[in-house]
Amino acid sequence: MKTVLVIGGGVTGLKASSELAEMGYNVTLVEKEDYLGGQVAKHKYYKLAPDLRLAGEVIDPVIKAVENNSNIKVYKHSHVAAVSGNAPEFKAKIKNSKGESEENFGAIVVATGFEHFDPTVKQEYGYGRFKDVVTNAEVEEMLNPGGPTNGELKRPSDGETPKKIAIFQCVGSRDRQVGNPYCCRVGCVVSTKQAIEIKEKYPDSEVYVYYMDMRMFGRGWEELYGKAMEEYEIIFTRGRGAEVTLKNQQLSLRAEETIMDRPIQHSVDMIILAAGMAAGEGTIEAANVLGIKQNDYGFLEPKDDFVSPNESSKPGIFIAGADKGPMDIENCIVEGAAVAAKVASSLKN
């Protein structure tokens, strides 16, 4: 039986590994961090949209399915340094602090995922300059009882609970200025979910969402958006957050209320940037090591988006999940299972 190399221990890589192992294949899973779970674990995602169920309910079983399967060998804190050979005879060099080993594989699955867009480059938003301008990932950590603030939303500047909160959509997405003209696909629903969580926890707070379009295409997303407006009185303003300044020690934002056709200034206590998805360092590194094609934005390019969505530009190397482009957790799990099936059928031939 051939061994499959899976690169990346996030949701997609975990699901692919456990599915392959259940089919009887040996799997070697390589993860660069010293924990499994990818971005979900890294940023301590608390609740998932649209059901507001705990992220742990979803990610823990996926991790356990890998850890409890003896067909899977997990290398944490490791990376794939070099790959040689062709399908179905690959040789991969796996490196970590203890040294390096070379192993043979029949197929390779790349599930290196995404990274949250770093909003520092959007200088006009003041991220990194103003302490109370935070990212949506930082808010996830704060809202998680196991996080740095024990589940409380606190202003980084003074530890106070903010009363007026603005959320900026599309930070680093739909933006040619930063080279990411694509939609991040999750910002809308994550912002709406976070706004509801904040209103649930702090009913006296005011939450404003600055958006261009609300792209609520997923299961139950549109309903969540309706609930946010009707039940939680979250205020959605159509206009992109344009600039953040500090006025009398308070954050002041500029936007245009494009429905009312007027430019506005708005003083708030905290601004949450719904930072989008960018191709992660791991994805770029994997593309270089394996010599597989990337698109204009650094994501991996399938051999054919419609016909062979999980095959890379090279035979025997498969791709899945958010390393192909922005993707939510639900779809990453589907992708993990899909790539496992594709690998299994290719190894049979």
Partner 1 sequence: MSEENKNPVTEKIESAKGGHFYKEIMKDFRIKESLHGCLNCGTCVANCPAAAFYDYSPREVCQMMIEGDEETIEEYMKGKIWNCAQCYSCKYRCPKENSAADIVMAMREIAVREGLAEEALAGYTRIAKLVLTRGNQLAPDMLSPDAFPDWGPRMIELSSKKMEMREELFKGFPGMNVVDRAWAAEDYTIFEMQKIWEESGALEKVGTVFPFLVDIVQDDMDDKRDEMEVKINEKKAKLEASKK
Edge-first strand order for the sheet with 206-211 is 133-135, 270-275, 164-171, 206-211, 235-238
Q: Considering the rule CB under 8 A, would residue 243 count as an interface residue with partner 1?
A: yes
Least distance from partner 1 to the Cβ atom of residue 245, Å = 11
Q: Which of residues 256-275 bind partner 1 (CB under 8 A)?
A: 256-258, 261, 263-264
The region of 107-115, 195-203, 253-261, 270-278 touching partner 1 under the rule CB under 8 A is 253-261
Upper half-sphere CA count for residue 237 (Cβ side, 13 Å): 25
Q: Tell which one of 24, 97, 159, 176 touches partner 1 (CB under 8 A).
A: 176
Stretch that binds partner 1, among 24-32, 61-69, 171-179, 283-291 (CB under 8 A): 171-179
CA 109 from centroid of its chain's CA atoms: 18
Q: Are 312 and 299 in contact (CB under 8 A)?
A: no
Contacts of 225 (CB under 8 A, 6+ apart): 188, 192, 214, 216
Of 237, 243, 284, 233, the C-alpha closest to 257 is: 237
- Which of 84, 101, 177, 308 binds partner 1 (CB under 8 A)? It is 177
- Dmax (CA) of the chain: 69
Which residue number, 52 or 264, has a Cβ lying nearer to partner 1? 264
Residue 170 in 3-state DSSP?
strand
User: Would you count residue 44 as binding partner 1 (CB under 8 A)?
Assistant: no
Q: Which of 14, 170, 190, 319 binds partner 1 (CB under 8 A)?
A: 170
Binders in 111-130 for partner 1, by CB under 8 A: 124
Q: Which of residues 75-94 bind partner 1 (CB under 8 A)?
A: none
Q: Are 278 and 117 in contact (CB under 8 A)?
A: yes
> By C-beta, is 253 or 290 nearer to partner 1?
253
- Considering CB under 8 A, how many residues would be counted as binding partner 1? 21
Q: Which three-class secondary structure state does DSSP give residue 31?
A: coil
The footprint of partner 1 (CB under 8 A) covers 124, 170, 174-177, 212-213, 238-240, 242-243, 254-258, 261, 263-264
